[in-house]
Amino acid sequence: MADSTCTERRVPSPGSEKRIDDPAAIAPEEPSRLTRDLTASVGDAGAFGVMVGIGETYVPAFVLAVGLGDVFAGLITSVPLLLGSLLQLISPWAVERLRSHRRWVVFCAGLQALCFVPLTVAAWQGQISGLAAMAVASLYWGAGLATGPAWNTWQGRIIPQPIRANFFARRARLQQITTLAGFLIGGFSLQWGRAAGDPQLLVNVFAALFLAAGVCRLLSTLCLALQSEPEVSAVSTRRIHIAEAWQPFTSGPTGAILMLAVSMQVGVYVAGPFFNPYMLKVLNFTYAGYAVLLGASFVAKFVCLPLWGKLAHRFGAQHLLAIGVWGIIPLAAGWVLTTNYWLLLILQIFAGASWGAYELALMLLFFETIPERQRTAVLTLYNVANSLALVFGSAIGAAILSLGQVSPEAYLVAFGVSTGLRALTTYWLYRLPRVDVAAAATTIRPLTVRPSSGSLDEPMLTTLPDQQTEPVGAERR
């Protein structure tokens, strides 16, 4: 790859940590090693994107197809995320024991690939128990989230700083393309299976999709294993001190930002996990239509990110946060007002743009208000609090649906309650003290987007290592 010639590195003296970002003379084998790392990283991104689009996204649709019910299809997008966020707490300990970020990431990625084996078998048989489905989904998300801190730290050390931003920006774009391709392939394949009128053919299509997703994750794992790794430093395995990480939640601008984010998550997840069964069971949308709605929000978010970055640079991240919050508040209400597919498609484009503004603003504010030495610990604890919030919100939504006997009217009540709870987050929005992070908006450029387990309401955005920022424990997998 052309990027591999942009920098050189210094051979470290015995006993010193290997430097990977110093443009000094290097050993002849270094450029070829960097080329292999860059090529393998690109292969990982492409295969991982297909896995997300063709496999992960359609798990809620699968549990609906095998008759596990609307409420369960919603909960399977939230409960496993909580269990996964708890598992990531062991990542620093695991890296320290293994003395390697790469070994831990490869182990977790391989474990995630294996999760598609029981899903493939269950789809082939056309049945799976609720307990088994929840266990597999929890292991999948646990293995995926556990790679986040280690992967960000590892990649930030093997990709040279001078080329890091541009490389990860291109890598992220590739991952978006392959994820979108996976969406569309999955949706149109399932539509073909449903149109045939044979229930067995439909579940066989699910089996083929999950098998393909597992193979893609295995290829991704192989690409991860082929990459090099410098010696693990003591700093990169620093243990999380809960008391230290909790302090920013209780005071100052960081506390207000964190409380806004967590309370927004509660409101969103009263409705978010239940859009899948509402579309597929109540509105009876086709799988192809479902995939297009997913893709519309996904593409709108990705396309709007450069615009939001420029706006944040000019006016500040707090203005961008206000745009995002006020854009997110009415999204669930839109589903109450209309069932017209084309109007909902427009709503989803607006949703993707709004979530892009909100999440980019949060990211910029996090980087500015959380001290660097506390950042990994605080963001890891935030991920756990965020997961607790989404489980709490989805439990409220599940209770509303259950009390309403999963009727169309019960869905509309859940969407209305979600809108009201989102509106309450404006209390925290206007309690934020002034934070000047306009200049930081240009320093966190490489962003990648993934859907949240097929939920239309909240795609998830991920930071990748950048030339101006220390790699942090942001979720990747």
pLDDT tens track for 65-102: 888 888 888 888 788 887 777 777 777 788 788 888 88
What is the model's pTM? Answer: 0.77
Residue of higher predicted confidence among 255 and 185: 185
The answer to whether residue 468 is domain-embedded is no
The answer to whether residue 122 is domain-embedded is yes
The answer to whether residue 1 is domain-embedded is no
Tokens representing 113 are 């690939």
Tokens representing 475 are 């979720």
Backbone angles phi, psi at 209, to 5 degrees: -65, -45
Name the burial class of residue 392, with classes exposed (0-12), middle (13-18) and buried (19+) by CB atoms within 10 angstroms of its CB: middle
Q: Which residues contact 413 (CB under 8 A, 6 or more apart)?
A: 400, 404
The answer to whether residue 11 is domain-embedded is no
Q: Say which CATH number the domain at 298 has.
A: 1.20.1250.20
The answer to whether residue 470 is domain-embedded is no
Q: Is the pLDDT of residue 188 over 50?
A: yes
Q: Are strands 455-463 and 447-452 parallel, antiparallel or unpaired?
A: antiparallel
The model's confidence at residue 145, banded by pLDDT at 50, 70 and 90, is confident
Which residue type is seen at 89?
L
Q: Which residues contact 262 (CB under 8 A, 6 or more apart)?
A: 382, 385, 386, 389
Q: Which of 182, 122, 219, 84 is nearest to 454 (CA)?
A: 182
What is the distance between the alpha carbons of residues 357 and 306, in angstroms, rounded to a whole number?
10
The answer to whether residue 401 is domain-embedded is yes
Q: Residue 271: give the domain boundaries.
A: 29-232+242-463
Angle at 459 between CA 127 and CA 296, to 5 degrees: 90
Angle at 50 between CA 69 and CA 115, to 5 degrees: 55
DSSP-derived letter for residue 447 is: E
**pLDDT at site 377:** 64
What is the distance between the alpha carbons of residues 225 and 193, in angstroms, rounded to a whole number?
36
**pLDDT at site 437:** 53
**pLDDT at site 213:** 96
Average pLDDT of span 221-242 = 71
The answer to whether residue 246 is domain-embedded is yes
The model's confidence at residue 376, banded by pLDDT at 50, 70 and 90, is low
| Domains identified in the chain, total number | 1
What is the distance between the alpha carbons of residues 342 and 344, in angstroms, rounded to a whole number?
5
Residue of higher predicted confidence among 359 and 435: 359
Asked if 190 and 58 count as a contact pair (C-beta separation under 8 A), the reply is yes
The answer to whether residue 469 is domain-embedded is no
**pLDDT at site 452:** 46
